Structure 1
Amino acid sequence: MIPKLVIHNSISLDGSTTGFTANLDVHYGILGSYEPDAMIVGSNTAKTGTQFFCEKIPPEEESDFKKPDIQPDDTRAYWMIADSRGILEGLMHVFRRSEYSKDVIVLVSEKTPEAYLNYLKERDYDFIQAGAERVDVKQALEIANERYGFKLVVSDSGGILNSILLEQGLVEEISLILTPEIVGKNGTNLFRGIEKSGTQLELVRNEIVEKKYVHLVYRVLKK
């Protein structure tokens, strides 16, 4: 069994995920209202996102080599980061330190470099190995449900991972924060990786946030 999966993202009026400044308080405030067990993020999105957490990557400290102490009343979500190629080596402590993250679980594949797996083990990161060349997201979600009891996972990622999730029929709901900006031709479409058209949606909620943003929630209609 896989957890319920919701895609959540902030986009411009013309559907771009880049080229504008997202309101992180609004973005994570709405994401937090879902009270997810975990957030799933692609490695490229995570690497780009380090700029929001720190101007310069800080050096690792002794505390970065062990799991954080998690209190029973901690309502933050775990972060599941898909990184089969190990591009986040040397950066993982940035996410572990984030105020938005309870701790990090890394999704890897059978082809993930052994050196990267050792890097994760030395720092006591949990990881889920699923898939041959790339991460098999469906299998990883099934393992997360069995191992951690995750019931609700929110994708806070870019177009590549979100497209995979949609095309594999794993998404039940899409949550979008519409920002009143137009990016233009240099924009990055949220679902640019989808090859087949025809995904049908049903609008279930819309509301104005801070007199500037529009929060739209769609249910994905199963074919």
Structure 2
Amino acid sequence: MDKSRFVIMHNTISLDGSFTGFDVNMSLHYEIAGSYKTEATVIGSDTIVTGIEMYGGVPEEKEQDLVKPSRNRDLPYWIVVDTQGKTKGMLHACRSFEFCRDIIVLISEKTDMDFVRYLEARNYDFLVCGKDHVDFHTAFERLDSNYGLRRFLIDSGPTLNGVLITEGLVDEISLVISPVLVGENSTQRFLNQLNRENHPLPLKLLQCERLKEDLILLKYQVMKPV
């Protein structure tokens, strides 16, 4: 593990661990995310697709969407993990977000060339990291060497959360707990995998704070083998 790298996983969840099936205080979620002063936000393709569908669908692509935006260099990049090209035709919805510096897409050697051509035609940076799936150790190393990015926020779903936890790449976990139980109406929990051995993962409490609307912020350090 590169000790100069910092990775924090951030989710808003129900008391029973779901991040779907209830109303999320998005402004508070992003306010807390912004307080961590990270340089890039890593998001899975499923999260991108679900979010765009939830908030009005894919807008019309305009000419200005085809060029890199000129924005404050202090804004975070959005790192989109998409080896299957699920976000083809909708990445401009992310690029147009005013608090996103620009998009960098992580793909694999087996990603369809049609998606690669889509990225190239619209001036999206992309990194090929892995044969079948993204190798995140390689990805983080190249994001550092190519862009100087070392502080990452993971704002995604159970698959990507689980992969990064399994690979030992997450340093801290930030959870905003909503005062609601979802029960069987939940379609996804915030984490579906801990490690290859299914051993419990020890954590150290760093912060426990009551927020407005009976929300609770919990922040933990992930305890890793020395």
TM range (shorter): over 0.9
- SS of 1:185 mapped into structure 2: helix
Task: Give the aligned residue type for 1:96.
Answer: R
| Unaligned 5+ runs, structure 1 | none
CA distance in 2, matches of 1:155, 1:56: 23
Query: Aligned residues: percent identity?
Result: 38
Q: TM-score, normalised by structure 1?
A: 0.95
Structure 1 match to 2:172: 173
For the 8 Å contact 1:201–1:219, the answer to whether it is kept is yes
In the TM superposition, residue 71 of structure 1 has moved relative to its aligned partner by 3.1
- Counting matched residue pairs gives 220
Task: Give the aligned residue type for 1:222.
Answer: K
For the 8 Å contact 1:38–1:152, the answer to whether it is kept is yes
Residues 69-218 of structure 1: matches in 2 within 5 Å? 69-72=70-73, 75-187=74-186, 188-194=188-194, 196-218=198-220
For the 8 Å contact 2:166–2:193, the answer to whether it is kept is no
Match 2:34 to one of 17, 28, 32: 32
Residues 49-88 of structure 1: matches in 2 within 5 Å? 49-52=51-54, 54-72=55-73, 75-88=74-87
CA distance in 2, matches of 1:66, 1:114: 20
- SS of 1:144 mapped into structure 2: helix
RMSD: 1.3
In the TM superposition, residue 191 of structure 1 has moved relative to its aligned partner by 1.1
For the 8 Å contact 1:40–1:155, the answer to whether it is kept is yes
For the 8 Å contact 1:3–1:142, the answer to whether it is kept is no
Q: TM-score, normalised by structure 2?
A: 0.93
In the TM superposition, residue 206 of structure 1 has moved relative to its aligned partner by 1.0
In the TM superposition, residue 35 of structure 1 has moved relative to its aligned partner by 1.1
Task: Give the aligned residue type for 2:166.
Answer: E
| Unaligned 5+ runs, structure 2 | none
